[in-house]
Structure formats: C-alpha cells, structure tokens
C-alpha cells in the first residue's frame, strides 16, 4: 500500500499554535495562519525577507516593541548556542479593535527552537507563540480565591505557629488542602488540616466550605471528635466532599494535653524536646462520608511538655508513589528531630525543603506547626 504524500506546508499553516520560521539571521521565511490571527497582521506585514527586529520600529515606545527586543535577544542566543530556549512569560498590551484608544493585556508564552539541516548545520529558527492570557487570568482568580479561603498564618493565642501550603505542579496554584487555627476560651486552641479529593478550583471551592464548617464546629462543640461528626453531617450536603480526610487537635496549655481525632487522615506528629517523635494515631476513623450512616468518632489524648511541637500536615508531605506510607512517616520523624530547635517558621521551611521533591509535588501539601 502506497503511503499518502504529506503536504508539510499545509500542515504548517494548519497548526493550532502560532509559529514563525526565520533564517539564522532572523529574517522572516514563513508564518502560519494562527500567527497572523494572534498578532492581528496580514501576510504582507509578515512577508519573507524582513528582519524580525524591525517590527514596531516605527513605534519604539509601543509595549510590543519591548517584546520584540526580548524575542530578538532570545533568538540570537539560540542561533549562537544551538539550544532551544523557553522565554519568560511576555506581557503585551494590545489595542482593542472594538474600542479605539483602549488596550487590553495579553500574556504570551514563547519557545525558540533551532532546526538543523541534513548536514548538521543550523538551517532555520522556529519561534512559537501561545496566548496564555486566559490561563493567567484564571490563575489570578484562583489565587485570590485561595487567599480568601485560607486564614492568614498567625500565632495561636500567645503561642508561636506557622502554616504553609504548596499546590501540585499541574494545578493553577490552588488546591483542596486546607489548614486552620482557632482560638478557644482560656489558654486553649484548635488546629486542623484537611484534604479534599481532586485539584484546582472545584476542589478549592469544596475546601472553603469544609474549612469554614469545621472552624465553626470547633468553636461550638466540646471536642475534636464531635467537631468531625458535625463536619461529616455537613459534608453530606456538599457535592465533591466525599472521601475528604481531616484531622483536628484541641490543645489545652493549662493541662498540657492534646485531644485529637482523625477522619482517615495521616496522624499528627508530636515532637518532644529530646527529639523523639510520637505519631498521634489512636483516634483514626474513615474519611468523611465513607460510612453509609453517621456514627460517633473516636478521640484520644496525649500529654506534652513545654517546648514540644505539634505538626499537622496533608499526605502530599509524606506520601510518594510506589512507597509505603511508613517510609514517609519515618522521613518526617527524622527531619523533625534534626530541626527540633528551630522556631515554627524556620521548621516549616526546613520540612518542605527536606521532604518535598525538588521537581515539585504531584499532590497538594498543607502544613501547620504550633510550638507548645
């Protein structure tokens, strides 16, 4: 069977991304239809033989002129090194064709790639442009939503604390993990973390509802088990809340006790002054909504001495694919012991540096630390 001949020029014109082909001297050779559409140009305006750096030469103060200068500098580096380069995100405020005199912001992702000929010498430079404006806007909305739903890290009463959250690398920098710190009457406080299944805006919206509900329940119930029972009842009315995990601990500095309960969540860690670590795992129950009918949840109590540290976290801090959770818990214990003298802020950063992979995490991570 004879294979059909591929019309590569037609393929080039039909590419969904904006692409420009240039000589190593940065002269236009060809552009595809998507480039003309994105840049608002005619084919005559991007005619072959023109120097790319001449774009916006008639209006050097136009925002587009600065973008072109950055593109030229990047392409020249690629021509010199023969190595592909991904440029920093470029902002280009373009004039609105429907409202003369008005401009709207655009964000462009650009990649410059050398193309080598059969003799191994550089024959072409390929400049690819992707409009990521909507993604950037969605990210800004997502970050605002996340900031509005998570409490500002602060002391718990008069006791130093720290909190961190890190989204998974494939999200809009929002996640379904949460933390909370609640001041209670007397010298008492409640700390909680939770983990909604999923990532991105849908998970963040569920997270906001559940965090607020648990925060309110902690203020009005007699202990962490009852607070999780109330949260479980509420979660049944929230779409997407199924199988959410959560852990909460009530701290009483007068009696120096921690009363805790967990709904399918990794156990809180209690770091003692001598560097030993106790995982608070004597009150573990299934995640929210895992039972067909509501049931009382367990709670347990642990004592502490002055100078101890309580650490609550989500599974992104300790779990890795193809690894038993005990390995992650042991890694956490070693890191806590190594940094036991650090203040909560320093300890939080040290734990993230020790435990999160350098290339980023594939699961969201929340962390809250309280000096007892």
Residue that the structure tokens 């909604």 belong to = 196
Instruction: Return d(Cα 372, Cα 350) in angstroms, integer.
Output: 19
pLDDT given for residue 101 in this prediction: 63
Residue that the structure tokens 């959250």 belong to = 165
Q: How many CB atoms are located within 10 Å of the residue 324 CB?
A: 10
120 contacts: CB under 8 Å, gap ≥ 6: none
CA-to-CA dists, residue 242 to 173, 201, 237, 268, 283, angstroms? 22, 16, 10, 22, 20
Closest CA to 246 of 270, 269, 263: 263
pLDDT given for residue 253 in this prediction: 96
Task: Tell me the pLDDT of the chain (372 aa) as tens digits.
Answer: 567 788 888 888 888 889 999 999 999 999 999 888 887 777 877 777 788 888 776 777 777 788 888 999 999 999 999 999 998 888 877 666 666 666 678 888 899 999 999 999 999 999 999 888 887 777 677 666 666 666 666 778 889 999 988 776 555 556 678 889 999 999 999 999 999 887 667 777 888 889 889 999 999 998 999 999 999 999 998 998 889 999 999 999 999 999 999 999 999 999 998 999 999 999 999 999 888 888 899 999 999 999 999 999 999 899 887 888 999 999 999 999 999 999 999 999 999 999 987 755 566 788 999 999
pLDDT given for residue 359 in this prediction: 58
Instruction: Return d(Cα 98, Cα 78) in angstroms, integer.
Output: 37
**Tell me, what DSSP letter sits at residue 20?**
E
Structure tokens at 324: 């038993």
pLDDT given for residue 178 in this prediction: 85
Q: Length of the chain, please?
A: 372
pLDDT given for residue 365 in this prediction: 86
Residue that the structure tokens 């367990």 belong to = 298
Model-level pTM greater than 0.75?
A: no
257 contacts: CB under 8 Å, gap ≥ 6: 251, 301, 302, 303, 304
Q: How many CB atoms are located within 10 Å of the residue 112 CB?
A: 22
Instruction: Return d(Cα 169, Cα 136) in angstroms, integer.
Output: 15
Report the sign of the C-alpha dihedral through residues 337, 360, 151, 346, in that order: positive
pLDDT given for residue 173 in this prediction: 57
Instruction: Return d(Cα 156, Cα 234) in angstroms, integer.
Output: 26
Instruction: Return d(Cα 22, Cα 224) in angstroms, integer.
Output: 65
Helix (H, G, I), strand (E, B) or coil at 92: strand
DSSP characters over 315-337:
GGGT--TTS-HHHHHHHHHHHHH
pLDDT given for residue 220 in this prediction: 92
Q: How far is CA 211 from the centre of its chain?
A: 18
pLDDT given for residue 333 in this prediction: 96
Structure tokens at 348: 């939080």
Q: How many CB atoms are located within 10 Å of the residue 156 CB?
A: 23
Q: 270 exposed, middle or buried (CB, 10 Å; 0-12, 13-18, 19+)?
A: buried
């Amino acid at each position: 069977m004879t294979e059909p001949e591929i019309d590569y020029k037609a393929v080039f014109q039909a590419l969904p991304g904006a692409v420009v082909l240039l000589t190593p001297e940065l002269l236009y050779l060809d552009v595809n239809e998507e480039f003309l559409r994105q840049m608002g140009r005619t084919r005559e305006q991007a005619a072959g033989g023109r120097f790319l750096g001449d774009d916006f030469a008639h209006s050097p103060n136009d925002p587009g002129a600065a973008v072109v200068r950055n593109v030229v500098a990047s392409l020249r580096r690629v021509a010199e090194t023969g190595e592909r380069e991904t440029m920093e995100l470029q902002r280009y405020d373009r004039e609105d064709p429907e409202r003369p005199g008005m401009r709207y912001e655009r964000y462009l992702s650009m990649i410059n790639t050398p193309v080598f000929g059969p003799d191994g010498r550089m024959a072409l430079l390929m400049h690819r442009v992707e409009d990521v404006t909507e993604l950037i806007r969605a990210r800004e909305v997502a970050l605002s939503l996340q900031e509005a739903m998570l409490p500002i890290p602060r002391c718990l009463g008069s006791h130093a604390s720290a909190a961190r959250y890190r989204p998974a690398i494939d999200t809009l920098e929002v996640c379904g993990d949460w933390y909370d710190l609640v001041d209670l009457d007397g010298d008492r406080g409640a700390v909680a973390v939770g983990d909604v299944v999923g990532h991105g805006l849908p998970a963040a919206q569920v997270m906001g509802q559940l965090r607020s509900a648990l925060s309110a329940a902690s203020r009005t119930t007699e202990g962490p088990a009852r607070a999780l029972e109330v949260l479980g009842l509420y979660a049944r009315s929230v779409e997407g809340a199924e199988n959410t995990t959560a852990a909460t601990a009530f701290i009483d500095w007068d009696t120096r006790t921690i009363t805790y309960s967990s709904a399918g969540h990794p156990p809180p860690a209690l770091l003692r002054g001598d560097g030993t670590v106790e995982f608070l795992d004597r009150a573990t129950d299934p995640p929210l909504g895992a039972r067909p009918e509501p049931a009382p949840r367990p709670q347990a109590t642990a004592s502490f001495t002055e100078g101890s540290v309580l650490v609550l976290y989500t599974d992104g801090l300790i779990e890795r694919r193809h690894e038993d959770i005990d390995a992650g818990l042991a890694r956490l214990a070693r890191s806590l012991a190594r940094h036991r003298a650090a203040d909560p802020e320093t300890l939080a950063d040290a734990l993230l540096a020790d435990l999160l992979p350098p290339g980023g995490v594939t699961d969201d991570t929340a962390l809250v630390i309280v000096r007892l």
